[in-house]
Structure 1
Amino acid sequence: MLVLQSVAYAHPNRDVLFDSLQLSVGRHQKIALIGNNGAGKSTLLRILAGELAPASGVVRLEAAPYYVPQIFGQFNDLTIAQALRIEPKRLALHEILAGTVTEANLAALNDDWTIEERCTEALAQWDLAGLELTQPMATLSGGQKTKVFLAGITLHQPEIVLLDEPSNHLDTAGRQRLYDFIRTTQSTLLVVSHDRTLLNLLDSVCELSRRGLAVYGGNFDFYQAQKQLESQALSEDVRSKEKALRKARDVERETAERQQKLDARGRKKQEKAGVPTIMLNTLRNNAEKTSSRLKSVHAEKLGGIAQELSDLRQELPDTDKMKFGFDSSGLHTGKILVTATAINYGYGPQPLWPRPLSFQITSGERIALKGLNGSGKTTLIQLIIGAAEPQSGTLYRAAGNKTVYIDQEYSLLDNQLTVYAQAQRFNVAGLQEHEVKIRLSRFLFGKDEWDKPGRALSGGEKMRLLLCCLTIGQQAPDIIVLDEPTNNLDLQNIGILTAALNDYQGTLLVVSHDPVFLAQVGVARIIALE
């Protein structure tokens, strides 16, 4: 159904992204494609969709695939009909109904007289009833744009579907519809996602890394169990290689000491025996050559073991290397930080919430803010952090509250600054240059990346840099507000974020539709919006 043979891809600057990829997907199989940011998952989907050509290798598909891309505003210049890929049919239908019955229009329509009715039904199935096919995509939310492309699956009924982060931007109801589709569809699926609930609905997991494609014959839970076994084996290999390196160094030292003793003993015997000076020099040169050969042999062996150890260490996970490390002495559990009494807001004559909101937030709580797309979650965040004021009701914020709002665009960072300059901007404690660089290295920014501009960072890198900058600021914020924090992160960086947040002792307010993430960071209360 879908076959990759020795597929490679290189960027325009000739940097190789991946090489020699092999994969075979059978009819009706449902495969997860995972890997770290930058591994090439989206690029591989675009190759399968025919949008990019591989540098080498063979790609074979038995049917034309339907591709649902990751949404980040790139389709704003299209109408809904164009995004659904039915605009030529729609135009032909309207021209025929207006009396322009030409062979070209009939060929374009291809007897699909119900195309508009089927579009309306498909959009309604994804909770998009009432949208016009001529409506610009730019007028839709991120979740609605994703749903338009998902409605295209219902419309076109493809045999092969390629999905790139399909649950991004979807609210809880939208995610549930997506999960139902994945459970029931007979189409062959290849899905790039970090949504662990979704990943557990798929038959197999295919991991893309610099070593190629590795297939695990089970869902995501099975994959994680296998990776845990691999990690344990890797740790054991590292310990074994470290032991071998220590032993090799001991053998090198003992051999060198033994050779020195033999050489010294030989020289004394030769001097007592009255060996001529010219012969002594020859014997001394031979001894030095022997020592040099032994040293070279041991150096080669040590170098080989050291390189193997370095390669193994490169494979170790990075999650445990990063901790917030805040000075949290100013955080007092149970302190009242925010009290809302019958608050409401509006962008017109009608209030945003049918019923005014009343709630309280105390220090140390972990709260999820939930609601459908358009229910006012972002507005409520702006009210809580003091960026807006309610139009009715009262909102108390404790004096001196320090709140950090981490939105999906990581707006706290300046994309024009380098990684190091960005870190220095948060260095209010006056850390020395080497201390700032140690913090950056701890968050996986080596010296080769200190001069990298912010605009060149991936979502995961921006998240790591922002976490690092917060630790450089030293004093822990009273509240950290996260808006869909896992949307732009791969599984590795979700693990890094989760570990860092579990090290934070303050109040956490999270907008997220990822139940696994919410459970892992210890969310215990929900503020629900209608």
Structure 2
Amino acid sequence: MSLIIRSLSYTHPDGEKLFHELNLTLGKGEKAALVGLNGMGKSTLLQLMAGTILPTSGEIMLSESCWYVPQHLGQYDHLSIAEALKIDVKLNAMQAILNGSIDPVYFTDLDDDWEIEEKAEMALTKWGLGHFSAHQFMGSLSGGQKTKVFLAGIEIHQPRIILLDEPTNHLDTNSRKMLYDLVTQHQATILTVSHDITLLNLLHKTFALSQTGIEVFGGNFDFYLEQRQEKVNALQAKLEEQTKTLKQSQQKARDMAEQRQKKEAKGKSAGQSNSLPRIVAGRLKSKAEQSTAKVLDAHHEKISGLAEHIRETRSQIQQYQALHINIAASHLHHGKILIDANNVNYGYHGNTLWEALSFQVRSGDRLHIEGDNGAGKTTLLKMITGAIEPTEGQYMSPDFSYLYLDQDYTMIKPDLSLYEQVQKYNHDGLQEHELKSLLIYSQFSQEMFDRKCIGLSGGEKMKLALCCLAISKQAPDMLILDEPTNNLDVQSLEILTSAVKNFTGTLLVISHDQHFIKEIGVTSQISLTKNSLHL
């Protein structure tokens, strides 16, 4: 076996217990996905495997060399490319030796890896980073370039175990294809955390992480979804049976209560008519009341137990089922020209992004803006939203309302609590219990209402953003999405996909996630390249 986890437990420094007695086994050469809700600890589990943090208890055994491609959120910006690739010590030793040093320490550090410079250069060039110096800081790179640096480490170190944490985040289409080929062709054992459905379907096993532990599915992501739906169907049938039994028990309890009242009334009547001696009638009455009370107590206990089972079953169903949230659209008639651009361009320091760029956007259009990293996609969105004006050409656009969701969901304010955030969008004066009901529907527990938004995961921010939109009842003419699927877990991606798919207004989306683009029903595309545009 390449990777074995036994009785693994982990508690956050703040005291929150994340894992308890986890077990996982991955064989040599196996390729598996690790899926689960945001906040379940998928990234933390990979960090534990990579050794960047230590478990509270339990064992992690890796039988071979390992390389970890992390999800980066700015924590590596202070490192050089060489430091991120863990080759800085070797490069420094190589340079010292070339400068004439015969210090044994440098030879020990180099470890006979005399081709380290060439290997690093070839690996970086393969991922389109050959023009960067190994001494350049990671903070100067784009998100996609940072991901490529860590992917280049696979080529340099040739590990036998590869841990990938959201490796397609920020990658353009061509780079994603390179990653897919790597995963398919590499002989290493691979464990991947990702929301990229195409990538997940290349893997032969799926581990589902939840509050109850890890469940193993012997197939790719589509197989996992099928199995999950079968579980939902079985739970739904179980829920229906439980609900039926509960109703029958409640009816039986009501019938018994009515019978008791009738018997009590009859006994009272018999006592008053003196048909039985008073002491005998009293004893019979007391005995009947005690017997009926015991039966009723037993039924009430059964009803209470059934109700608890129903709550548990509903909770299980909620874990598997995706939340449904609708984004309302305005009633703007289809076909109205919202944007009319003729020979527009935008320049930085005299350099323009594109050649003459001309296009129209009409209400009802569903446009995908596509292009490699650095092609100016986000700049085009800024032009469309009026944040910047073109430096060349004619750009005409009537006033229209739009909703802009970026990959960081910046509409969510980190210093506000969840309840304060939704209250900010409460333009119709909904009552407190109504707001809290909507938060609960959006899969936020009561314990989270006072928690600051700064601690939310990507998926939680997305669900809170959609909850805010539902509360505000905002109906935009245009929905604009800029890499909205980054940092989402698979179930959160399902929620977003469903909401966008059902949105009937105008849609503009930047995304390299081809599965997402296909699912949301894009009808046309703008492909941007440096100094050129293809409609």
User: How far is the alpha carbon of 1:271 from its aligned partner?
Assistant: 5.5
TM score, norm. by length of structure 2 = 0.94
Partner of 1:322: 324
Q: Does 1:391 align with 2:391?
A: yes
Query: 1:48 corresponds to which letter in structure 2?
Result: M
Contact 2:208/2:216 (<8 A) preserved: yes
User: How far is the alpha carbon of 1:329 from its aligned partner?
Assistant: 5.1
Give the distance between the partners of 1:15 and 1:285, measured in 2 at CA.
54
Partner of 2:22: 21
Give the distance between the partners of 1:329 and 1:389, measured in 2 at CA.
26
Give the distance between the partners of 2:75 and 2:330, measured in 1 at CA.
45
Q: Deviations over 1:351-396 (max 9, x none)?
A: 112x221111111111111000011011111001000000001111
Identity %, equivalent residues: 45
Partner of 1:154: 155
Give the distance between the partners of 2:475 and 2:19, measured in 1 at CA.
41
Q: Deviations over 1:1-59 (max 9, x none)?
A: 21112222222233321222222111000010000101111111111111222222222
User: How far is the alpha carbon of 1:280 from its aligned partner?
Assistant: 4.3
Pairwise mapping of residues 42-81 of structure 1 onto structure 2 (< 5 A)? 42-81=43-82
Equivalent residue of 1:12, what SS?
Answer: coil
Equivalent residue of 1:19, what SS?
Answer: strand
Partner of 1:205: 206
What's the C-alpha RMSD, in Å, of the aligned pairs? Answer: 1.9
Q: Please, which moves more after superposition, 282-291 or 183-192?
A: 282-291
Q: Please, which moves more after superposition, 161-170 or 446-455?
A: 446-455
Contact 2:371/2:377 (<8 A) preserved: yes
Give the distance between the partners of 1:21 and 1:351, measured in 2 at CA.
54
Contact 1:323/1:503 (<8 A) preserved: no
Contact 1:162/1:189 (<8 A) preserved: yes
Partner of 2:241: 240
User: How far is the alpha carbon of 1:345 from its aligned partner?
Assistant: 0.9
Q: Which runs of 5+ in 2 are unaligned?
A: 530-535
Give the distance between the partners of 2:294 and 2:226, measured in 1 at CA.
48
Give the distance between the partners of 2:249 and 2:381, measured in 1 at CA.
59
User: How far is the alpha carbon of 1:269 from its aligned partner?
Assistant: 4.6
Equivalent residue of 2:33, what SS?
Answer: strand
Paired residue total: 527
Q: Deviations over 1:137-176 (max 9, x none)?
A: 1111111111111110110011111111111111101101
User: How far is the alpha carbon of 1:397 from its aligned partner?
Assistant: 1.2
Give the distance between the partners of 1:321 and 1:159, measured in 2 at CA.
39
TM score, norm. by length of structure 1 = 0.95
Equivalent residue of 1:315, what SS?
Answer: helix
Contact 2:322/2:491 (<8 A) preserved: no
Q: Does 1:487 align with 2:490?
A: no
Q: Does 1:451 align with 2:453?
A: no
Give the distance between the partners of 1:367 and 1:325, measured in 2 at CA.
17
Give the distance between the partners of 1:356 and 1:432, measured in 2 at CA.
52
Query: 1:243 corresponds to which letter in structure 2?
Result: K
Q: Deviations over 1:260-294 (max 9, x none)?
A: 43444445455556655455444433333223211
Q: Does 1:339 align with 2:340?
A: yes
User: How far is the alpha carbon of 1:236 from its aligned partner?
Assistant: 1.1
Partner of 1:176: 177
Pairwise mapping of residues 436-515 of structure 1 onto structure 2 (< 5 A)? 436-515=435-514
Q: Please, which moves more after superposition, 409-418 or 142-151?
A: 409-418
Contact 1:324/1:468 (<8 A) preserved: no
CA 1:14–1:428 in 2, change beyond 3 Å: closer, same or farther? Answer: closer
Query: 1:510 corresponds to which letter in structure 2?
Result: V
Give the distance between the partners of 1:161 and 1:325, measured in 2 at CA.
39
Query: 1:359 corresponds to which letter in structure 2?
Result: F
Give the distance between the partners of 1:110 and 1:325, measured in 2 at CA.
58
Partner of 1:114: 115
Pairwise mapping of residues 358-397 of structure 1 onto structure 2 (< 5 A)? 358-397=358-397
Q: Deviations over 1:180-231 (max 9, x none)?
A: 0001000000111110000010011110011211111111111111111111
CA 1:320–1:203 in 2, change beyond 3 Å: closer, same or farther? Answer: closer
